[in-house]
Amino acid sequence: MSGSATTPRTRHPVQLAATVISVVFLLVGVLGFIPGVTTNYDQLAFAGHQSTALLLGLFMVSVLHNLVHLAFGVVGLGMARTAAGARNYLVGGGIVYAVLWLYGLLIDHGSSANFVPVNNADNWLHLVLAVAMIGLGVLLGRDLRATARR
């Protein structure tokens, strides 16, 4: 045996956080297509407020909404390959969810402007996601700039 042992590649905590969040988005995207987990499944529309399907009986979903969750998960897994990418995914994704939270507050949920669709439960979840993702990205990614300057 030679003296050169291989060490496993260590992942930065921000990468782990981005990976976990990405997997959750993938799981949520898949669960949105499963009858029983999604109530009123027969009312699942492609998009719009006419979709009265509810993930876990609480969160409004549509085919488009589920596909966005899946895409968000795939993008996150790709960006989590590097620490800087993971930080950018978390902060950028958090900003997207902050905008989506504001959108959900400002639109009439019964109008055609609610194309995602969202309800009050979605709005609260989007706010929590925005705060959590931005917080994780900033807190866990704060040492990346200092490390890059060394």
Q: What value does the mean pLDDT of the chain take?
A: 90
pLDDT at 19 (0 to 100): 98
- Taking only the tens place, the pLDDT of each residue in 25-67 is 999 999 999 999 999 999 999 988 888 999 999 999 999 999 9
How much is the pTM?
0.86
- Taking only the tens place, the pLDDT of each residue in 83-112 is 999 999 999 999 999 999 999 999 888 888
Q: Are 62 and 117 in contact (CB under 8 A)?
A: yes
Q: How does 59-77 read in b/e, with b if 16+ C-beta sit within 10 Å? A: bbbbebbbebbbebbebbb
The C-alpha angle 50, 41, 103, rounded to 5 degrees, equals: 40
- pLDDT confidence band for 6 (50 / 70 / 90): very low
Q: Are 109 and 52 in contact (CB under 8 A)?
A: no
